[in-house]
Amino acid sequence: MMISSVKTKSFFPLLALFAVLTTACKKDDKDPDQDSSFDRAAMRAHYADDIILPAYLDFQSEMAEVMISAGAFVETPNAENLNALRDDWKDAYKSWQSCSMFEFGPAADVVLRSTCNTFPTDTAQIQNNINAGSWQLGTAANIPAAGLPAIDYLLYGLAASDEGIVELYATAPGFQSRGEYLLDVVAQMNTKITSVVNQWNGGYATSFKQKSGTDIGSALSLMVNDLNFDYELIKNAKIGIPLGIQTLGIARPNYVEAYYSGMSKTLALESLRASRRVYLGQNLAGVNGLGMDDLLLFLDAQHTNGTLHSAIMNQFSASETALEAINDPLSASIVDSPEVVETAYNKLQQHVVLFKTDMASSFGVLITYADGDGD
């Protein structure tokens, strides 16, 4: 008697599962997310249509403007055209910060992030290319001699004064080669971002929206992994490495992003705010939709004192405040008031834990792109 009652108890749920399972295998044409309490398909669509593609389109149009003003400057090098070009370049650089965290799919195929933003830029390599009069962008040696950081050097770092810089594109020896190099660097980025936009419009957006689940290669896994990777770049590349965090505390101020124009702090803040928008599912205009924050709240993800969502938002604010406290330019502050920069570094580091460990784990997403079995 006892045995049979144990049997019934233990087998009932299993048989119930079996029944569900057999039906599950039959009807797989139904929209998988439709009936669940959190519409994950809508979230993926929102990220693809309202956040990622608009970010690429914005960068594409900013770069198109850079192309026009760069053409005008090379054609007629004067202070006015230089400043117009600089302004367009600054807008493009800021716009880039909203694209940087989507290095998967088409962007990964064309190595968009390394092409657009490898710093510190290799000034010797740039000068060699210009002097040689011919170059091949895209080779390993030329990756750090191209992109937005190369333009930073080409528009701000070539001479001490603006007159001197204009002179280098107007009449100084090699002016033609220099102008062509500038245009080529811009064109390379334009080609790549256009290719990415075309691929997103040409089918990748559709397949991205279908990448359900949390496995490696799912849309959520791609976004969480890259948001985290990019956030680690803010911490390490933008702040930590220039601060000397990997070099026994010996500062390397010229390693900051956009060293020659001195807009490093602006870009770091822009990057942090872009990450926050992605996390919240906000578009460029700040309109909020279904985002990672909503999913975390739905999943009831906890942190030490309260929800994980509030911990993440507090940390965003703390990091933002700490970055704002740094005096411009960042490269000078690293030398003059390193403790202020270090505070910002520490806040960013704490935030990496929240993304890399707490958020990824709450979603059941692995922080890796590598396949393998688990148990």
Partner 1 sequence: MKQTIQKYLETPVSIAPLAMFRVLFGLVMFVSVVRFILKGWVKEFYIDPSYYFTYYGFEWVRPLGEVGMYVLYGVLVASTFLVMLGLFYRVASVVFFLSFTYAELIDKTYYLNHYFFISLMAFLMIWLPAHRSFSLDVIRKPSLRVGLVPRRTVGIVRFQLAMVYVFAGLAKLNYAWLFEAMPLKIWLAGRTDLPVLGAVFDWPWIPYVFSWSGAIYDLTIVYFLLNRKTRIWAYGAVIVFHVLTRMLFNIGMFPYIMILSTLIFFSSEFHQTIINTVQGWFKRTAEQVETLNQSYRPARKQLAYGVLSVFFVGQLLLAVRFLAYPGNLFWTEQGYRYSWRVMLAEKAGTAFFSITDGNTGGKIEIENRHYLTETQEKMMSYQPDMILQYAHYLYDLYNGKPIALGNDTLIVQNPKVTADVFVRLNNTGSRRFIDPTVDLAKEREGFHNKSWILHYND
Residues at the contact surface with partner 1, assessed by CB under 8 A: 6-7, 9-11, 13-14, 17-18, 20-21, 23-25, 27-28, 30, 32-38, 40, 212-215, 236, 240, 245-250, 252, 299-304, 308, 311, 349, 352-354, 356-358, 360-375
Nearer to partner 1, 155 or 311 (CB): 311
Which candidate, 8, 31, 92, places its Cα nearest to that of 58?
A: 92
DSSP 355: I
CB of 86 to partner 1, least distance (A): 29
What lies within 8 Å, CB to CB, of 300 at 6+ separation is 307
CB of 127 to partner 1, least distance (A): 18
CB of 100 to partner 1, least distance (A): 17
Nearer to partner 1, 85 or 360 (CB): 360
Nearer to partner 1, 68 or 299 (CB): 299
Helices marked H in 162-243: 162-170, 175-199, 205-210, 219-233, 241-243
CB of 23 to partner 1, least distance (A): 6
For residue 7, how many C-alpha atoms fall within 13 Å in the half-sphere facing its CB?
4
Nearer to partner 1, 16 or 287 (CB): 16
257 dihedral zone (left: phi>0; alpha: psi -120 to 50; beta): beta
Nearer to partner 1, 22 or 136 (CB): 22
Q: Determine the Cα–Cα distance for residues 140 and 167; give it in Å rounded to an integer.
A: 31
Contact 273, 263 (CB under 8 A): no
Q: Determine the Cα–Cα distance for residues 1 and 349; give it in Å rounded to an integer.
A: 61
Which candidate, 280, 283, 284, places its Cα nearest to that of 296?
A: 280
Contact 297, 309 (CB under 8 A): yes
CB of 279 to partner 1, least distance (A): 17
CB of 52 to partner 1, least distance (A): 20
Nearer to partner 1, 60 or 362 (CB): 362
Nearer to partner 1, 339 or 373 (CB): 373
Contact 242, 255 (CB under 8 A): yes
Which candidate, 113, 119, 58, places its Cα nearest to that of 91?
A: 58
CB of 125 to partner 1, least distance (A): 17
